[in-house]
Amino acid sequence: MNNKVLIVGSGGREHALGWKIAQSDEVSEVIYAPGNGGTQEGKGRNIPIDGAKKENFPSLADFVKSEHIDMVIVGPEQPLADGIVDYFQSRGYDRIFGPNAEASNLESDKFYSHRRLLELDLPQATSIRCYSTDQAIRAIKSRTMIPGEGIVIKARGLTGGKGVTVCDSRELALKEIKNHAEKYGPHVLIAERLSGEEFSVFGISDGNKVSALEISLQDHKRLLDGDKGPNTGGMGAYGPAPVASVEMVRNVVDTIMTPVVQRMKEIGEKYNGFLYGGFMMTHDGPKVIEFNIRFGDPECQPAMMMMKSDLYHVLSASLEGKLEGVKMEFRSGAACCVVLASQGYPEEYKKGLIIDGLYDALLVDGVKVFHAGTKSDDSSDDSNVMTSGGRVLGVTGYSNKGIAEAQRRAYHAASMINIPGGFHYRKDIADKALKRALK
C-alpha cells in the first residue's frame, strides 16, 4: 500500500521507530521532521521542519495535509506536553500517535503521577511534594533515615532525563538541593531511594487498556561504568533484562499500568500512545520509579531490533481502538545498544566532528547503527556524517544466541567507529545480565 508515515523528532529513538515502521509492506515512505544524518536511508526522507518545536506545529500540519500523510508518530515528550496532538486534532487530523497535553501530565508533571499512584494505592517510593526550596529542605530534614537508604531529588517538570539527583545521605541532599533548584526549578519530589535493580516496561495504550511489549529492558542512566557519574539521557540499554520475566512484565502492565490508564479515563484524561514504566525490583516486589509518555531512548533501539510484529499494523490498531485482538511478537535471543556520546557530554561538547568507521561497523553481523546527534554534510562529495549532539550513535547488536553474543557484536562494531576529537561510551552495558547468568 502507498501509506506515508511521518515521525516527529531527530534522535536515536526516532531512527529506530522509523527503521521498524519502514519494514511494513503497507508503508511506502517514512518522513522525519527533522530527522538526522542516518534517517534518510531506504524509505526515509528528512524535511527541514523541526516538528518538535511548538512554533512549527502549523507548518508541520500543513505539510501533513499536502502530502496526505497516513500516520504521524511523535517521538519526544516535549511536543506532546506542548499539545501537538491537541493541535492536530483541532485541525481535524486524528491519525497522530501519542497522548494529548492533558494526559501528558503523567510524565511532564511528577506531582500528577504521584497523585494518580496514591489514589490507586499502587507501589512507589515514599515521596513528599515540595513547592519551594525551603519546603524541600524541611522535607529532607524530616526524613527518618535508614543507614544506606539515601534520598532522591526529582524535578517536577520535563528535564530531558537529567532532573534526578541521587544522594547517599541527608547531608548531601541538603548540599545539592539549591543547585538542583537553580537548574530545574523549586518544585521537587523528595523521595526515598529505592534499593534493587531497575527495569523498564513498555506498552501501547488505546485509552482503554495497555498492551504490553512483552520484553523487559534495562537502561543505563549514569555516564560512567559501574553506574557512576552524572545522570544522562541514557548511555545504553539491553533486553530482555533477566531481572523481570515475561510474566513479571505482564503483571506490572495488568496491575499497575492499565489501572493508571483506566483511572485517567475515569477523570476525563484518556491516554493514547506509548507508555513507559520505570520500575525498581525491590525486596517487596516491583515499585514505580516514573512514568514516561513516549518510548525510551535508548531502550527503543534494542526493542525494535527484537520486535517481530509489524509496528505500523500495531499502531494503526491502537489509533482505531482495536488493540484488544493484537498480539505483539518478539524474536528469540537478545539485543544490546551501546551509546557513543560526544566527549564532555552531558555538559559542554564540540559539534561538527567527522565520524569515521560507520560503514565498517554496519558490516558486523547482527548490528544496526542508529543515529541520534548526527547530521550529513551533503555539500561534500562523500556526504560526511558529523556530530551534532551529545548522544551521537546507538550501536545495537542482536543475536538469537542471547545477550552475551549481542553485547559482543555491539562492542565489536563500536570499536570500529572513531570520532576525532573524542567520544565516550560505557564498557559495561548488559554486564548485569551476564552476572546473573553466572549465578
Do 156 and 212 belong together in one domain? Answer: no
Residue 91 shares a structural domain with residue 152: no
The reply to whether 400 and 422 lie within a common domain is yes
What is the structure's pLDDT at 325? Answer: 80
Q: What is the mean pLDDT of residues 342-352?
A: 94
CATH number of the domain to which 397 belongs: 3.90.600.10
- pLDDT confidence tier of residue 381, bands split at 50, 70 and 90: very low
Please compute the mean of the pLDDT values over residues 289-304 and round it to a whole number: 96
Q: Mean pLDDT throughout 302-310?
A: 97
Residue 133, pLDDT > 70, answer yes
Is the pLDDT at 178 greater than 50, yes or no? yes
Does the pLDDT value for residue 281 go beyond 60? yes
Do 212 and 149 share a structural domain?
no
- pTM value is 0.94
Q: Of the residues 280, 297, 325, which one is the last residue of a structural domain?
A: 325
Strands 71-74 and 96-97, sheet pairing? parallel
Residue 278 domain-assigned? Answer: yes
The whole-number average pLDDT for the span 9-27 is: 98
**Confidence (pLDDT) at 378:** 63
Mean pLDDT of 396-421: 96
Cβ(400)–Cβ(332) below 8 Å? yes
Q: Is position 308 within any domain? A: yes
Give the chain's largest Cα–Cα span: 64
* 106: in domain: no
**Average pLDDT taken over every residue of the chain:** 94
- Give the residue from 300, 325, 350 where a domain finishes: 325
Q: Is a pLDDT exceeding 50 seen at residue 334? A: yes
**Do residues 357 and 430 both lie within one domain?**
yes
Within this chain, do residues 321 and 206 fall inside the same structural domain, yes or no? yes
Percent of the residues in the chain that have a pLDDT greater than 70, as a whole number? 97
| pLDDT confidence band for 6 (50 / 70 / 90) | very high
Residue 149 has pLDDT above 90, yes or no: no
Q: Is the pLDDT of residue 336 over 70?
A: yes
- Contact (Cβ atoms closer than 8 angstroms) between residue 17 and residue 72: no
Residue 106 has pLDDT above 50, yes or no: yes
Share of the chain above pLDDT 90, in %: 89
* Number of Cβ within a 10 Å radius of residue 285: 13
The verdict on 346 and 309 lying in the same domain is no
Q: Which domain holds residue 181?
A: 126-192
- Considering the domain boundaries, does residue 103 fall inside one? no
**In-domain check, residue 208:** yes
Q: Is residue 13 part of a domain?
A: yes
Q: Which of 192, 215, 245 is the last residue of a domain?
A: 192
- Alpha-carbon distance 159 to 217, whole Å? 22
Tell whether 210 and 313 lie within a shared domain.
Answer: yes
Query: Does residue 156 carry a pLDDT above 80?
Result: yes
Q: Which residue has the cell 509518555?
A: 293
* Nearest one of 312, 304, 295, 327 to 398, comparing CA atoms: 304
Residues 61, 63, 68, 71: is their CA dihedral positive or negative?
Answer: negative
Which pLDDT band holds residue 146 (cuts at 50, 70, 90)? low
- Asked whether residue 111 is domain-assigned, the answer is no
Section 237-261 average pLDDT: 96
Residue 395 scores a pLDDT above 60: yes
Q: What is the pLDDT of residue 380?
A: 47
Q: With CA atoms as reference, report the closest residue to 199 among 310, 302, 77.
A: 302
Do 342 and 300 lie in a common domain?
A: no
Cβ–Cβ under 8 Å, residues 47 and 56: no
Q: Does position 436 have pLDDT exceeding 90, yes or no?
A: no
3-state secondary structure labels for all residues of 17-28: HHHHHCCCCCEE
Same domain, 319 and 363: no
Task: Retrieve residue 42's grid coordinates.
Answer: 531506504
Which runs of E-coded beta strand occur in 21-75?
27-34, 44-46, 71-74
User: Domain total for the chain?
Assistant: 4
Mean pLDDT of 348-353: 94
Q: Where are the beta strands (DSSP E) in 123-195?
A: 127-130, 151-155, 164-167, 188-192
